[in-house]
Protein backbone atom coordinates (compact mmCIF):
# COMPACT_ATOMS: atom_id res chain seq x y z
CA UNK A 1 0.00 0.00 0.00
CA UNK A 2 1.53 3.33 -1.05
CA UNK A 3 2.33 6.04 1.48
CA UNK A 4 2.46 9.75 0.78
CA UNK A 5 2.60 13.09 2.55
CA UNK A 6 -0.03 15.78 2.11
CA UNK A 7 0.85 19.08 3.76
CA UNK A 8 3.56 17.20 5.70
CA UNK A 9 1.06 14.66 7.06
CA UNK A 10 1.66 11.00 6.28
CA UNK A 11 -1.14 8.74 5.05
CA UNK A 12 -1.32 5.20 3.68
CA UNK A 13 -3.92 4.39 1.03
CA UNK A 14 -5.03 1.51 -1.17
CA UNK A 15 -3.47 0.89 -4.53
CA UNK A 16 -5.04 3.00 -7.31
CA UNK A 17 -6.34 5.56 -4.80
CA UNK A 18 -6.21 9.18 -5.91
CA UNK A 19 -4.74 12.19 -4.13
CA UNK A 20 -8.33 13.25 -3.42
CA UNK A 21 -8.95 9.90 -1.71
CA UNK A 22 -5.82 10.33 0.40
CA UNK A 23 -6.74 13.87 1.39
CA UNK A 24 -10.19 12.68 2.45
CA UNK A 25 -8.60 10.05 4.67
CA UNK A 26 -6.65 12.81 6.44
CA UNK A 27 -9.69 15.07 6.73
CA UNK A 28 -8.14 17.61 4.36
CA UNK A 29 -10.80 19.28 2.22
CA UNK A 30 -9.95 19.79 -1.42
CA UNK A 31 -12.63 21.62 -3.44
CA UNK A 32 -14.29 19.72 -6.28
CA UNK A 33 -16.95 20.63 -8.82
CA UNK A 34 -16.77 18.18 -11.70
CA UNK A 35 -16.25 15.15 -9.45
CA UNK A 36 -18.64 12.87 -7.58
CA UNK A 37 -17.73 9.68 -5.75
CA UNK A 38 -18.20 6.54 -7.87
CA UNK A 39 -18.26 8.65 -11.05
CA UNK A 40 -15.48 8.69 -13.62
CA UNK A 41 -13.41 11.86 -13.03
CA UNK A 42 -13.48 14.31 -15.93
CA UNK A 43 -10.76 16.62 -14.52
CA UNK A 44 -12.38 19.51 -16.38
CA UNK A 45 -12.94 22.24 -13.80
CA UNK A 46 -9.40 22.22 -12.35
CA UNK A 47 -10.63 23.44 -8.97
CA UNK A 48 -9.02 20.49 -7.19
CA UNK A 49 -5.47 21.14 -8.40
CA UNK A 50 -2.57 20.43 -6.03
CA UNK A 51 1.20 20.70 -6.17
CA UNK A 52 3.19 17.45 -6.33
CA UNK A 53 6.87 17.98 -5.54
CA UNK A 54 9.04 17.14 -8.52
CA UNK A 55 6.37 17.99 -11.11
CA UNK A 56 6.44 21.25 -13.04
CA UNK A 57 2.68 21.59 -13.39
CA UNK A 58 -0.15 21.38 -10.88
CA UNK A 59 -2.30 18.26 -11.17
CA UNK A 60 -6.02 17.54 -10.50
CA UNK A 61 -6.36 15.67 -7.22
CA UNK A 62 -9.51 13.84 -8.38
CA UNK A 63 -7.79 12.09 -11.27
CA UNK A 64 -4.17 11.70 -10.14
CA UNK A 65 -3.32 8.24 -8.80
CA UNK A 66 -1.09 8.15 -5.74
CA UNK A 67 2.51 6.99 -5.98
CA UNK A 68 4.55 5.83 -3.04
CA UNK A 69 6.62 8.64 -1.53
CA UNK A 70 4.62 11.48 -3.07
CA UNK A 71 4.79 14.83 -1.29
CA UNK A 72 1.75 16.98 -1.97
CA UNK A 73 0.85 20.60 -1.15
CA UNK A 74 -2.91 21.18 -1.04
CA UNK A 75 -3.21 24.78 0.14
CA UNK A 76 -0.08 26.72 -0.76
CA UNK A 77 -0.35 30.20 -2.24
CA UNK A 78 0.47 28.80 -5.68
CA UNK A 79 -2.34 26.26 -5.41
CA UNK A 80 -4.87 28.79 -4.13
CA UNK A 81 -4.02 31.25 -6.90
CA UNK A 82 -4.40 28.52 -9.53
CA UNK A 83 -7.82 27.57 -8.15
CA UNK A 84 -8.85 31.21 -8.11
CA UNK A 85 -7.82 31.59 -11.75
CA UNK A 86 -9.77 28.45 -12.69
CA UNK A 87 -12.87 29.86 -10.99
CA UNK A 88 -12.47 33.20 -12.74
CA UNK A 89 -12.22 31.47 -16.11
CA UNK A 90 -15.44 29.57 -15.40
CA UNK A 91 -17.12 32.80 -14.31
CA UNK A 92 -16.04 34.56 -17.50
CA UNK A 93 -18.31 32.20 -19.44
CA UNK A 94 -21.13 32.23 -16.86
CA UNK A 95 -24.49 33.72 -17.86
CA UNK A 96 -26.86 34.14 -14.95
CA UNK A 97 -27.68 36.18 -11.86
CA UNK A 98 -27.02 34.65 -8.45
CA UNK A 99 -29.39 37.19 -6.92
CA UNK A 100 -32.31 38.81 -8.71
CA UNK A 101 -31.69 42.46 -9.72
CA UNK A 102 -34.53 43.49 -7.39
CA UNK A 103 -32.76 41.90 -4.41
CA UNK A 104 -29.43 43.45 -5.30
CA UNK A 105 -30.86 46.97 -5.40
CA UNK A 106 -32.90 46.56 -2.18
CA UNK A 107 -30.97 48.28 0.64
CA UNK A 108 -32.05 45.50 3.01
CA UNK A 109 -31.12 42.75 0.51
CA UNK A 110 -34.46 41.02 1.04
CA UNK A 111 -34.95 37.78 -0.92
CA UNK A 112 -37.73 39.22 -3.06
CA UNK A 113 -37.99 36.42 -5.66
CA UNK A 114 -38.44 33.81 -2.93
CA UNK A 115 -41.14 35.89 -1.23
CA UNK A 116 -42.99 36.19 -4.53
CA UNK A 117 -42.82 32.45 -5.22
CA UNK A 118 -44.19 31.80 -1.75
CA UNK A 119 -47.06 34.25 -2.27
CA UNK A 120 -47.91 32.70 -5.62
CA UNK A 121 -47.96 29.26 -4.02
CA UNK A 122 -50.19 30.45 -1.18
CA UNK A 123 -47.44 29.91 1.41
CA UNK A 124 -48.05 33.17 3.26
CA UNK A 125 -46.54 32.13 6.59
CA UNK A 126 -43.31 31.24 4.82
CA UNK A 127 -43.48 34.50 2.86
CA UNK A 128 -43.65 36.72 5.96
CA UNK A 129 -40.75 34.77 7.49
CA UNK A 130 -38.73 35.46 4.34
CA UNK A 131 -39.59 39.17 4.52
CA UNK A 132 -38.82 39.54 8.22
CA UNK A 133 -35.48 37.84 7.87
CA UNK A 134 -34.31 41.16 6.43
CA UNK A 135 -37.02 43.75 7.10
CA UNK A 136 -38.30 44.31 10.64
CA UNK A 137 -41.16 46.67 9.68
CA UNK A 138 -42.64 45.32 6.42
CA UNK A 139 -46.20 46.67 6.84
CA UNK A 140 -44.72 50.13 7.42
CA UNK A 141 -42.35 49.93 4.48
CA UNK A 142 -45.09 48.47 2.30
CA UNK A 143 -46.76 51.87 2.60
CA UNK A 144 -43.98 54.46 2.60
CA UNK A 145 -40.97 52.84 0.89
CA UNK A 146 -40.03 54.49 -2.43
CA UNK A 147 -39.51 50.93 -3.77
CA UNK A 148 -35.99 51.07 -5.24
CA UNK A 149 -36.38 47.30 -5.82
CA UNK A 150 -38.97 47.96 -8.50
CA UNK A 151 -36.52 50.18 -10.35
CA UNK A 152 -34.31 47.12 -10.71
CA UNK A 153 -37.10 44.76 -11.77
CA UNK A 154 -36.26 43.16 -15.13
CA UNK A 155 -39.95 42.82 -15.96
CA UNK A 156 -39.98 46.55 -16.77
CA UNK A 157 -38.04 45.77 -19.94
CA UNK A 158 -41.21 44.10 -21.23
CA UNK A 159 -44.02 46.19 -19.72
CA UNK A 160 -44.03 47.26 -16.05
CA UNK A 161 -42.20 46.18 -12.94
CA UNK A 162 -43.77 43.68 -10.56
CA UNK A 163 -45.53 45.46 -7.65
CA UNK A 164 -43.00 44.29 -5.09
CA UNK A 165 -43.90 46.92 -2.50
CA UNK A 166 -47.57 46.01 -2.52
CA UNK A 167 -46.80 42.29 -2.37
CA UNK A 168 -44.63 42.86 0.68
CA UNK A 169 -47.37 44.96 2.25
CA UNK A 170 -49.93 42.26 1.45
CA UNK A 171 -48.18 39.47 3.38
CA UNK A 172 -47.31 41.86 6.24
CA UNK A 173 -50.93 43.04 6.58
CA UNK A 174 -52.21 39.49 6.34
CA UNK A 175 -49.86 38.51 9.15
CA UNK A 176 -50.83 41.45 11.40
CA UNK A 177 -54.51 40.60 10.93
CA UNK A 178 -54.01 36.96 11.90
CA UNK A 179 -54.66 35.58 15.38
CA UNK A 180 -51.05 34.43 15.62
CA UNK A 181 -48.69 36.92 13.95
CA UNK A 182 -45.24 35.64 13.01
CA UNK A 183 -42.53 35.86 15.67
CA UNK A 184 -39.01 34.63 14.92
CA UNK A 185 -37.32 32.23 17.29
CA UNK A 186 -34.79 33.76 19.69
CA UNK A 187 -31.62 32.26 21.08
CA UNK A 188 -31.38 31.81 24.85
CA UNK A 189 -30.97 35.12 26.66
CA UNK A 190 -27.34 36.03 27.17
CA UNK A 191 -25.90 38.06 30.01
CA UNK A 192 -25.27 41.02 27.73
CA UNK A 193 -27.30 44.20 27.42
CA UNK A 194 -27.50 46.73 24.62
CA UNK A 195 -28.65 50.34 24.88
CA UNK A 196 -30.22 51.74 21.74
CA UNK A 197 -30.48 55.52 21.47
CA UNK A 198 -33.40 56.38 19.22
CA UNK A 199 -36.67 54.51 18.67
CA UNK A 200 -36.95 55.21 14.96
CA UNK A 201 -36.68 52.61 12.19
CA UNK A 202 -32.94 51.95 12.66
CA UNK A 203 -33.22 51.55 16.42
CA UNK A 204 -36.30 49.35 16.25
CA UNK A 205 -34.72 47.13 13.59
CA UNK A 206 -31.51 46.76 15.61
CA UNK A 207 -33.54 45.70 18.64
CA UNK A 208 -35.53 43.21 16.54
CA UNK A 209 -32.41 41.37 15.39
CA UNK A 210 -30.38 41.70 18.59
CA UNK A 211 -33.23 40.21 20.64
CA UNK A 212 -33.21 37.23 18.28
CA UNK A 213 -29.50 36.82 18.98
CA UNK A 214 -30.25 36.63 22.72
CA UNK A 215 -29.23 40.15 23.78
CA UNK A 216 -31.50 42.23 25.99
CA UNK A 217 -32.23 45.63 24.46
CA UNK A 218 -33.42 48.87 26.04
CA UNK A 219 -34.43 51.59 23.61
CA UNK A 220 -34.20 55.20 24.79
CA UNK A 221 -36.02 58.04 23.07
CA UNK A 222 -36.93 61.61 23.96
CA UNK A 223 -40.50 61.09 22.71
CA UNK A 224 -43.31 59.54 24.70
CA UNK A 225 -43.82 56.62 22.30
CA UNK A 226 -41.52 54.62 19.99
CA UNK A 227 -41.48 55.09 16.24
CA UNK A 228 -39.44 58.26 15.73
CA UNK A 229 -40.16 59.99 12.44
CA UNK A 230 -42.54 57.17 11.50
CA UNK A 231 -44.89 58.31 14.26
CA UNK A 232 -44.21 62.03 14.40
CA UNK A 233 -43.33 63.04 10.83
CA UNK A 234 -45.11 60.72 8.37
CA UNK A 235 -48.70 61.82 7.54
CA UNK A 236 -51.30 59.45 9.02
CA UNK A 237 -52.99 59.01 5.65
CA UNK A 238 -49.74 57.46 4.40
CA UNK A 239 -49.03 55.39 7.50
CA UNK A 240 -51.92 54.61 9.86
CA UNK A 241 -50.81 54.66 13.50
CA UNK A 242 -52.42 51.28 14.21
CA UNK A 243 -50.16 49.64 11.62
CA UNK A 244 -47.07 51.15 13.23
CA UNK A 245 -48.26 50.21 16.71
CA UNK A 246 -48.88 46.59 15.75
CA UNK A 247 -45.43 46.16 14.23
CA UNK A 248 -43.71 47.77 17.21
CA UNK A 249 -45.76 45.55 19.55
CA UNK A 250 -44.30 42.46 17.85
CA UNK A 251 -40.77 43.76 18.47
CA UNK A 252 -41.68 44.36 22.12
CA UNK A 253 -42.93 40.78 22.35
CA UNK A 254 -39.38 39.66 21.66
CA UNK A 255 -38.30 41.44 24.85
CA UNK A 256 -37.46 45.00 23.83
CA UNK A 257 -37.83 47.54 26.68
CA UNK A 258 -38.73 51.13 25.81
CA UNK A 259 -37.83 54.15 27.91
CA UNK A 260 -39.45 57.27 26.51
CA UNK A 261 -39.07 60.94 27.38
CA UNK A 262 -35.41 60.32 28.10
CA UNK A 263 -32.98 62.64 26.35
CA UNK A 264 -29.43 61.33 26.22
CA UNK A 265 -27.07 64.10 27.24
CA UNK A 266 -29.63 65.73 29.52
CA UNK A 267 -31.65 63.14 31.41
CA UNK A 268 -29.00 60.48 30.99
CA UNK A 269 -25.38 60.78 29.95
CA UNK A 270 -23.88 58.64 27.25
CA UNK A 271 -21.06 57.75 29.60
CA UNK A 272 -23.62 56.25 31.98
CA UNK A 273 -24.99 54.10 29.17
CA UNK A 274 -21.50 52.89 28.35
CA UNK A 275 -21.00 51.87 31.98
CA UNK A 276 -24.38 50.22 32.44
CA UNK A 277 -24.62 48.45 29.10
CA UNK A 278 -22.27 46.17 27.20
CA UNK A 279 -22.80 48.01 23.89
CA UNK A 280 -24.54 51.15 22.66
CA UNK A 281 -26.14 51.76 19.27
CA UNK A 282 -26.77 55.40 18.37
CA UNK A 283 -29.70 55.65 15.96
CA UNK A 284 -30.98 59.15 16.68
CA UNK A 285 -32.11 60.04 13.18
CA UNK A 286 -31.29 63.22 11.31
CA UNK A 287 -29.82 65.82 13.69
CA UNK A 288 -28.57 69.22 12.55
CA UNK A 289 -26.11 68.55 9.72
CA UNK A 290 -25.07 64.94 9.75
CA UNK A 291 -21.87 63.88 8.03
CA UNK A 292 -21.51 60.74 5.90
CA UNK A 293 -18.33 59.93 7.82
CA UNK A 294 -19.58 60.50 11.34
CA UNK A 295 -21.44 62.60 13.92
CA UNK A 296 -20.49 66.25 14.26
CA UNK A 297 -18.99 67.42 17.56
CA UNK A 298 -22.13 69.39 18.45
CA UNK A 299 -24.30 66.33 18.02
CA UNK A 300 -21.95 64.20 20.05
CA UNK A 301 -21.81 66.71 22.87
CA UNK A 302 -25.61 66.90 22.99
CA UNK A 303 -25.57 63.20 23.85
CA UNK A 304 -22.77 63.52 26.38
CA UNK A 305 -20.07 61.99 24.19
CA UNK A 306 -16.55 63.32 24.12
CA UNK A 307 -15.70 64.04 20.52
CA UNK A 308 -12.53 64.90 18.68
CA UNK A 309 -12.40 68.10 16.60
CA UNK A 310 -13.36 66.00 13.59
CA UNK A 311 -16.33 64.40 15.32
CA UNK A 312 -17.01 60.74 16.04
CA UNK A 313 -15.84 58.63 13.16
CA UNK A 314 -18.05 55.75 12.04
CA UNK A 315 -16.92 52.75 10.03
CA UNK A 316 -19.35 52.54 7.13
CA UNK A 317 -19.17 48.74 6.95
CA UNK A 318 -19.23 47.78 10.63
CA UNK A 319 -21.02 50.83 12.12
CA UNK A 320 -18.33 50.93 14.82
CA UNK A 321 -17.35 54.34 16.14
CA UNK A 322 -13.96 55.29 17.53
CA UNK A 323 -15.50 54.87 21.00
CA UNK A 324 -15.20 51.34 22.38
CA UNK A 325 -18.52 49.55 22.39
CA UNK A 326 -20.40 52.36 20.63
CA UNK A 327 -21.95 51.87 17.21
CA UNK A 328 -23.92 54.34 15.10
CA UNK A 329 -26.24 54.16 12.08
CA UNK A 330 -29.39 55.47 10.50
CA UNK A 331 -29.91 59.04 9.33
CA UNK A 332 -27.47 60.37 11.92
CA UNK A 333 -24.72 58.81 9.82
CA UNK A 334 -26.27 58.48 6.36
CA UNK A 335 -28.11 61.36 4.74
CA UNK A 336 -30.18 59.23 2.40
CA UNK A 337 -33.41 59.68 4.38
CA UNK A 338 -34.81 56.33 3.21
CA UNK A 339 -36.69 54.35 5.84
CA UNK A 340 -35.67 51.10 4.18
CA UNK A 341 -32.03 52.20 4.42
CA UNK A 342 -32.45 53.02 8.12
CA UNK A 343 -34.05 49.59 8.71
CA UNK A 344 -31.16 47.98 6.83
CA UNK A 345 -28.68 49.93 8.98
CA UNK A 346 -30.31 48.55 12.11
CA UNK A 347 -30.12 44.99 10.83
CA UNK A 348 -26.50 45.32 9.72
CA UNK A 349 -25.42 47.10 12.90
CA UNK A 350 -26.97 44.25 14.88
CA UNK A 351 -24.62 41.85 13.10
CA UNK A 352 -21.58 43.89 14.13
CA UNK A 353 -22.81 44.34 17.70
CA UNK A 354 -23.40 40.59 17.91
CA UNK A 355 -19.82 40.00 16.76
CA UNK A 356 -18.51 42.50 19.29
CA UNK A 357 -20.45 41.05 22.22
CA UNK A 358 -19.51 37.50 21.22
CA UNK A 359 -15.81 38.34 21.30
CA UNK A 360 -15.36 37.86 17.55
CA UNK A 361 -13.64 40.18 15.12
CA UNK A 362 -16.04 42.92 14.12
CA UNK A 363 -16.21 42.62 10.35
CA UNK A 364 -19.85 43.49 9.74
CA UNK A 365 -22.29 41.64 7.46
CA UNK A 366 -20.83 39.24 4.91
CA UNK A 367 -21.13 40.61 1.39
CA UNK A 368 -22.96 38.08 -0.75
CA UNK A 369 -21.19 36.91 -3.89
CA UNK A 370 -23.13 37.73 -7.03
CA UNK A 371 -22.77 37.44 -10.78
CA UNK A 372 -24.89 39.60 -13.06
CA UNK A 373 -26.13 39.22 -16.60
CA UNK A 374 -26.39 42.97 -16.99
CA UNK A 375 -28.26 44.64 -19.81
CA UNK A 376 -30.34 42.19 -21.81
CA UNK A 377 -29.68 41.62 -25.49
CA UNK A 378 -32.31 41.29 -28.19
CA UNK A 379 -34.56 38.29 -27.66
CA UNK A 380 -33.46 37.56 -24.08
CA UNK A 381 -36.47 39.05 -22.30
CA UNK A 382 -38.66 36.55 -24.14
CA UNK A 383 -36.64 33.72 -22.57
CA UNK A 384 -37.38 35.07 -19.09
CA UNK A 385 -41.06 35.53 -19.95
CA UNK A 386 -41.39 31.82 -20.76
CA UNK A 387 -42.10 31.12 -17.09
CA UNK A 388 -44.17 34.17 -16.19
CA UNK A 389 -47.72 35.36 -16.75
CA UNK A 390 -47.78 37.96 -19.51
CA UNK A 391 -50.71 39.88 -17.97
CA UNK A 392 -50.39 43.59 -17.30
CA UNK A 393 -49.50 44.96 -13.87
CA UNK A 394 -52.33 44.43 -11.39
CA UNK A 395 -54.20 47.50 -10.11
CA UNK A 396 -54.96 47.14 -6.37
CA UNK A 397 -58.53 47.51 -5.18
CA UNK A 398 -58.25 46.19 -1.63
CA UNK A 399 -58.50 48.06 1.67
CA UNK A 400 -56.61 51.37 1.70
CA UNK A 401 -55.13 50.69 -1.72
CA UNK A 402 -53.73 47.25 -1.00
CA UNK A 403 -54.10 43.97 -2.87
CA UNK A 404 -56.94 41.50 -2.40
CA UNK A 405 -55.96 37.85 -2.03
CA UNK A 406 -56.58 37.11 -5.67
CA UNK A 407 -54.82 40.24 -6.86
CA UNK A 408 -51.70 39.39 -4.85
CA UNK A 409 -51.53 35.93 -6.40
CA UNK A 410 -52.21 37.34 -9.86
CA UNK A 411 -49.42 39.90 -9.52
CA UNK A 412 -46.99 37.35 -8.09
CA UNK A 413 -47.11 35.15 -11.20
CA UNK A 414 -45.81 38.09 -13.27
CA UNK A 415 -42.37 37.66 -11.67
CA UNK A 416 -39.65 36.49 -14.07
CA UNK A 417 -37.64 34.80 -11.27
CA UNK A 418 -34.31 36.11 -12.46
CA UNK A 419 -32.51 34.74 -9.40
CA UNK A 420 -30.68 31.43 -9.40
CA UNK A 421 -32.79 28.69 -7.86
CA UNK A 422 -29.66 26.99 -6.49
CA UNK A 423 -27.83 30.08 -5.26
CA UNK A 424 -27.41 28.63 -1.77
CA UNK A 425 -25.95 25.33 -2.97
CA UNK A 426 -24.08 26.32 -6.14
CA UNK A 427 -20.46 25.20 -5.75
CA UNK A 428 -19.22 27.75 -8.26
CA UNK A 429 -20.64 30.56 -6.13
CA UNK A 430 -19.45 28.99 -2.87
CA UNK A 431 -15.85 28.55 -4.03
CA UNK A 432 -15.77 31.90 -5.83
CA UNK A 433 -16.62 33.53 -2.51
CA UNK A 434 -14.12 31.42 -0.57
CA UNK A 435 -11.26 32.14 -2.96
CA UNK A 436 -12.10 35.79 -3.63
CA UNK A 437 -12.65 35.19 -7.35
CA UNK A 438 -13.67 38.17 -9.48
CA UNK A 439 -16.41 37.47 -12.05
CA UNK A 440 -15.14 40.18 -14.38
CA UNK A 441 -11.41 39.42 -14.36
CA UNK A 442 -11.56 37.78 -17.78
CA UNK A 443 -14.09 39.76 -19.76
CA UNK A 444 -15.28 38.86 -23.20
CA UNK A 445 -18.40 38.91 -25.30
CA UNK A 446 -21.02 36.99 -23.36
CA UNK A 447 -23.28 34.43 -24.95
CA UNK A 448 -27.05 34.71 -25.00
CA UNK A 449 -29.14 33.78 -22.00
CA UNK A 450 -31.16 30.62 -22.61
CA UNK A 451 -33.37 28.40 -20.49
CA UNK A 452 -35.18 25.22 -21.42
CA UNK A 453 -38.50 24.36 -19.81
CA UNK A 454 -40.72 21.39 -20.48
CA UNK A 455 -44.03 23.19 -20.00
CA UNK A 456 -43.48 26.97 -20.29
CA UNK A 457 -47.22 27.64 -20.50
CA UNK A 458 -47.91 25.79 -17.26
CA UNK A 459 -45.13 26.90 -14.96
CA UNK A 460 -46.84 29.58 -12.88
CA UNK A 461 -47.41 29.09 -9.20
CA UNK A 462 -50.79 29.35 -7.61
CA UNK A 463 -53.88 27.65 -6.21
CA UNK A 464 -56.58 30.03 -7.38
CA UNK A 465 -59.08 28.32 -9.66
CA UNK A 466 -58.05 30.66 -12.46
CA UNK A 467 -54.33 30.14 -11.83
CA UNK A 468 -52.32 26.99 -12.61
CA UNK A 469 -51.57 24.62 -9.76
CA UNK A 470 -48.17 24.23 -8.15
CA UNK A 471 -46.42 21.20 -9.58
CA UNK A 472 -43.95 19.55 -7.22
CA UNK A 473 -43.66 16.11 -8.71
CA UNK A 474 -45.60 14.56 -5.85
CA UNK A 475 -43.98 12.26 -3.33
CA UNK A 476 -42.08 10.31 -5.93
CA UNK A 477 -39.44 11.23 -8.47
CA UNK A 478 -39.34 14.76 -9.82
CA UNK A 479 -40.20 14.87 -13.51
CA UNK A 480 -38.23 16.67 -16.19
CA UNK A 481 -41.14 19.07 -16.56
CA UNK A 482 -40.25 20.35 -13.10
CA UNK A 483 -36.70 21.43 -13.93
CA UNK A 484 -35.01 24.25 -15.81
CA UNK A 485 -31.82 23.90 -17.81
CA UNK A 486 -29.76 27.06 -18.29
CA UNK A 487 -26.79 26.36 -20.54
CA UNK A 488 -25.10 29.61 -19.53
CA UNK A 489 -24.52 28.21 -16.04
CA UNK A 490 -23.16 24.85 -17.23
CA UNK A 491 -19.45 24.15 -16.61
CA UNK A 492 -19.41 21.09 -18.91
CA UNK A 493 -18.55 18.68 -16.11
CA UNK A 494 -20.61 15.89 -17.66
CA UNK A 495 -22.01 14.64 -14.36
CA UNK A 496 -25.57 14.84 -15.70
CA UNK A 497 -24.52 12.85 -18.77
CA UNK A 498 -23.10 10.09 -16.56
CA UNK A 499 -26.14 10.21 -14.27
CA UNK A 500 -28.61 9.85 -17.13
CA UNK A 501 -26.61 7.00 -18.65
CA UNK A 502 -26.42 5.17 -15.31
CA UNK A 503 -30.20 5.49 -14.96
CA UNK A 504 -30.65 3.79 -18.33
CA UNK A 505 -32.14 6.80 -20.12
CA UNK A 506 -32.86 5.89 -23.73
CA UNK A 507 -32.02 9.37 -25.00
CA UNK A 508 -30.14 11.04 -22.15
CA UNK A 509 -27.75 13.97 -22.51
CA UNK A 510 -24.51 14.44 -24.45
CA UNK A 511 -21.82 16.96 -25.35
CA UNK A 512 -22.36 18.87 -28.60
CA UNK A 513 -20.05 21.29 -30.38
CA UNK A 514 -16.28 21.59 -30.42
CA UNK A 515 -13.58 23.35 -28.46
CA UNK A 516 -14.76 26.33 -26.45
CA UNK A 517 -18.25 25.94 -27.93
CA UNK A 518 -18.89 22.50 -26.47
CA UNK A 519 -22.12 22.32 -24.49
CA UNK A 520 -24.29 19.77 -22.74
CA UNK A 521 -27.50 19.26 -24.70
CA UNK A 522 -30.26 16.80 -25.53
CA UNK A 523 -29.44 14.77 -28.65
CA UNK A 524 -31.34 15.48 -31.85
CA UNK A 525 -32.80 18.73 -30.43
CA UNK A 526 -35.30 16.78 -28.33
CA UNK A 527 -36.80 18.10 -25.08
CA UNK A 528 -35.48 17.74 -21.54
CA UNK A 529 -38.56 15.65 -20.70
CA UNK A 530 -37.71 13.19 -23.46
CA UNK A 531 -34.08 13.03 -22.34
CA UNK A 532 -34.65 12.60 -18.61
CA UNK A 533 -37.69 10.40 -18.18
CA UNK A 534 -36.34 8.64 -15.08
CA UNK A 535 -33.39 10.64 -13.74
CA UNK A 536 -34.39 14.32 -13.66
CA UNK A 537 -34.08 14.65 -9.90
CA UNK A 538 -30.74 12.78 -9.80
CA UNK A 539 -29.35 15.04 -12.53
CA UNK A 540 -30.42 18.18 -10.67
CA UNK A 541 -28.77 16.94 -7.49
CA UNK A 542 -25.58 16.00 -9.33
CA UNK A 543 -25.24 19.38 -11.06
CA UNK A 544 -22.67 21.51 -9.15
CA UNK A 545 -24.15 24.81 -10.34
CA UNK A 546 -27.60 26.19 -11.13
CA UNK A 547 -27.51 24.90 -14.71
CA UNK A 548 -30.00 22.16 -13.85
CA UNK A 549 -32.40 23.21 -11.09
CA UNK A 550 -35.85 22.48 -9.77
CA UNK A 551 -38.16 25.02 -11.38
CA UNK A 552 -40.12 25.61 -8.17
CA UNK A 553 -37.84 26.66 -5.35
CA UNK A 554 -39.72 27.48 -2.15
CATH number at residue 495: 3.30.70.20
Asked if residue 439 is part of any domain, the answer here is: no
Going by DSSP bridges, is the β-strand pair 483-485/452-453 parallel, antiparallel, or unpaired?
A: antiparallel
Are 170 and 226 contained in the same domain? no
SS3 content of the chain, % helix, strand, coil (to 5): 35, 10, 55
Least confidently predicted of 341-355, 382-396, 459-473? 459-473
Are 347 and 212 contained in the same domain? yes
Are 287 and 197 contained in the same domain? yes
Q: Give the residue numbers spanning the domain of 404.
A: 97-182+373-419
Are 113 and 81 contained in the same domain? no
Q: Within the chain, what is the greatest distance between any pair of CA atoms?
A: 80
Of 427, 422, 415, the residue nearest 484 (C-alpha): 422
| CATH number for the domain harbouring residue 41 | 3.10.20.740
Count of domains in the chain?
4
pTM, two decimals, is 0.89
Going by DSSP bridges, is the β-strand pair 3-6/326-328 parallel, antiparallel, or unpaired?
A: unpaired
Whole-angstrom Cα distance, residue 57 to residue 500? 34
Are 532 and 459 contained in the same domain? yes
| CATH number for the domain harbouring residue 141 | 1.10.1060.10
Are 219 and 342 contained in the same domain? yes
Whole-angstrom Cα distance, residue 465 to residue 459? 15
Banded model confidence at residue 310, pLDDT cuts 50, 70, 90 = low
Banded model confidence at residue 286, pLDDT cuts 50, 70, 90 = low
Residue 527 has pLDDT above 80, yes or no: yes
pLDDT digits (tens, 9 = 90+) for 60-117: 999 999 999 999 999 999 999 999 999 999 999 999 999 999 999 999 999 999 999 9
Last residue of a domain, one of 41, 68, 92: 92
Least confidently predicted of 22-31, 185-194, 511-520? 511-520
Banded model confidence at residue 482, pLDDT cuts 50, 70, 90 = confident
Asked if residue 481 is part of any domain, the answer here is: yes
Last residue of a domain, one of 357, 384, 403: 357
Average the pLDDT over 8-30 and give the result.
Answer: 96
> pLDDT at position 330, please?
86
The answer to whether the CB of 307 falls within 8 A of the CB of 300 is yes
Are 541 and 464 contained in the same domain? yes
Average the pLDDT over 287-315 and give the result.
Answer: 53
> pLDDT at position 453, please?
77
> pLDDT at position 36, please?
93
β-bridge partners, 195:
218, 280
Asked if residue 342 is part of any domain, the answer here is: yes
Q: Which residue has the higher pLDDT, 316 or 211?
A: 211
Average the pLDDT over 32-46 and give the result.
Answer: 92
Residue 100 buriedness (CB in 10 A; 0-12 / 13-18 / 19+): buried
> pLDDT at position 464, please?
44
Are 287 and 351 contained in the same domain? yes
Asked if residue 432 is part of any domain, the answer here is: no
Whole-angstrom Cα distance, residue 521 to residue 485? 9
Q: Which residue has the higher pLDDT, 294 or 198?
A: 198
Are 203 and 315 contained in the same domain? yes
Are 74 and 21 contained in the same domain? yes
Are 215 and 303 contained in the same domain? yes
Scanning 121-191, the segments in alpha helix (DSSP H) are 124-132, 138-144, 148-151, 164-176
The answer to whether the CB of 215 falls within 8 A of the CB of 354 is yes
Asked if residue 171 is part of any domain, the answer here is: yes
Q: Which residue has the higher pLDDT, 15 or 516?
A: 15
Whole-angstrom Cα distance, residue 279 to residue 357? 8
Whole-angstrom Cα distance, residue 77 to residue 341? 39
> pLDDT at position 357, please?
98
Whole-angstrom Cα distance, residue 138 to residue 173? 9
β-bridge partners, 51:
73
Asked if residue 441 is part of any domain, the answer here is: no
| CATH number for the domain harbouring residue 222 | 3.50.50.60
Of 478, 486, 453, the residue nearest 534 (C-alpha): 478
Percent of the chain with pLDDT over 70: 90
Asked if residue 424 is part of any domain, the answer here is: no
Residue 411 has pLDDT above 50, yes or no: yes
> Please, what is the average pLDDT of the chain?
90
Are 52 and 72 contained in the same domain? yes
Last residue of a domain, one of 28, 57, 92: 92
Average the pLDDT over 433-444 and give the result.
Answer: 93
Asked if residue 426 is part of any domain, the answer here is: no
Residue 296 has pLDDT above 70, yes or no: no
Amino acid sequence: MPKLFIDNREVEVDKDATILDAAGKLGIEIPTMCFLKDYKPSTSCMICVVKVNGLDNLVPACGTVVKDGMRVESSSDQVRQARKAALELLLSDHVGDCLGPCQVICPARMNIPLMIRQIAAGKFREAIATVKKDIALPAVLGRICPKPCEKGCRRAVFDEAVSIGLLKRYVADLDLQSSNPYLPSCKPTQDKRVAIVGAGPAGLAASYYLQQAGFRCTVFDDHEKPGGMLRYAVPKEHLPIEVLNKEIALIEKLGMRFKGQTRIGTDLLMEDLRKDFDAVFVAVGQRRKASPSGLKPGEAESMGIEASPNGITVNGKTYQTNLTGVFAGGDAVHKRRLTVRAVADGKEAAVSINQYLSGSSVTGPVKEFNTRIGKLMDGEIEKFLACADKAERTSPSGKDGGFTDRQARKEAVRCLHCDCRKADTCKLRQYARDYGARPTRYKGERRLFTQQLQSPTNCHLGKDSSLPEVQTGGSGSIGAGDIIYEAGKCIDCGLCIQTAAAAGEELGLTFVGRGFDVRVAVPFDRSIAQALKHSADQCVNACPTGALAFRISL
